[in-house]
A = this chain, B = another copy of it.
Amino acid sequence: MLEKKRVIIDTDTAGDDTISILMALHYFKVEGIMITGGNVQFHQQVENALYTIQVGGKSGKVPVYKGHEGPIMGFGESQHRTVEDVHGKDGMGDSFFEKAIQSPEEGHAVDFLIETIHENPGEIHLLAIAPLTNIAMAIKKDPAIVPKIPHLYIMGGTNNALGNITPSAEYNFFVDPEAAKIVLHSGIPITMVGWEMCTKYSIMDDNDHSEIEALSTKGAQFFKDVNKVVMKFNKSVHKLNGTTHPDTLLAAVAANEEIMTESNLYHVDVETVGELTRGYSLVDINNRLERSKNVRVCEAIDRSAFKEMLLEVLRSID
């Protein structure tokens, strides 16, 4: 049997982050989880990650580290925007689960990341399903980690498509464009799964939800609980008929690259300055700017394979 790949997850745990963590716990050896400012209140995100580990049956076995509570350029009056409207007040579909048994670790996520990479050069893959603040700050603090990271999978940005938090920007890139810029220019090998992959391939509609419910596992019940609020939000705001699973899709792609049926290496950058376009991800498909091709961009997914991976994860949790 093949040994599982080792990963560290960076997450603003709320909604689909939880299912993504469950998938990662299933397919990878998760060395640790880092929390970064994003979806909901920071302490709630920490709690959500700890609870999710417990749901995944790994309580006490996967350390959770607190990282940056907000974006690089967030301060004073200009704090970042949280999205309780999408994921519920608790980020868990207003489920208000009981408190997790496990506690977060001492020490800063950035230092955990730097140390773990240095101790395991070439071994630790990164799954980024949140604003890129922690990863950017680790790169700035110690650029020597860059050549020791074999691959970074990013859920973020869009590939010449509509954004989700503004028309021009996807949430993770929008919250911390400076961090995204630092990471994209770092030299780390990157695979990016943009928001349009999520809307095209990850949506679970009422039928899908029925199928999942029919699994009758704890995993299926948890999936149902955390997705209560986003189902309504997607219908009213994004005109999408179902729940969206960008972070889970990212974990699935990292776990099995073969479900990514189309991808290409492009120059990708992020706008930090624009009046209307802060957080916009530029993907230079036709190489008009003739700049270095720094990101492999996911362009198509085998949806049934993805769905089967999701079902397997939820089936296994009981």
Contacts and interface: CB of A to CB of B under 8 A. Distances in A.
A59 interface: no
27 contacts: A68-B140, A68-B141, A72-B182, A75-B182, A75-B186, A76-B187, A111-B111, A137-B141, A160-B160, A160-B162, A160-B167, A162-B285, A166-B288, A167-B285, A167-B288, A168-B277, A168-B282, A178-B178, A237-B288, A238-B286, A269-B276, A271-B274, A271-B277, A273-B274, A274-B276, A276-B277, A276-B282
A283 interface: yes
Interface of A is mostly: loop
A110 interface: yes
A271 B272 CA distance: 13
Contacts of A270: 276
Contacts of A182: 72-73, 75
A317 interface: no
Interface of A: 68-69, 72-73, 75-76, 108, 110-111, 137, 140-143, 160-163, 165-168, 178, 181-182, 185-187, 237-239, 269-277, 280, 282-286, 288-289
A167 B289 contact: yes
A111 B166 CA distance: 37
Contacts of A111: 111
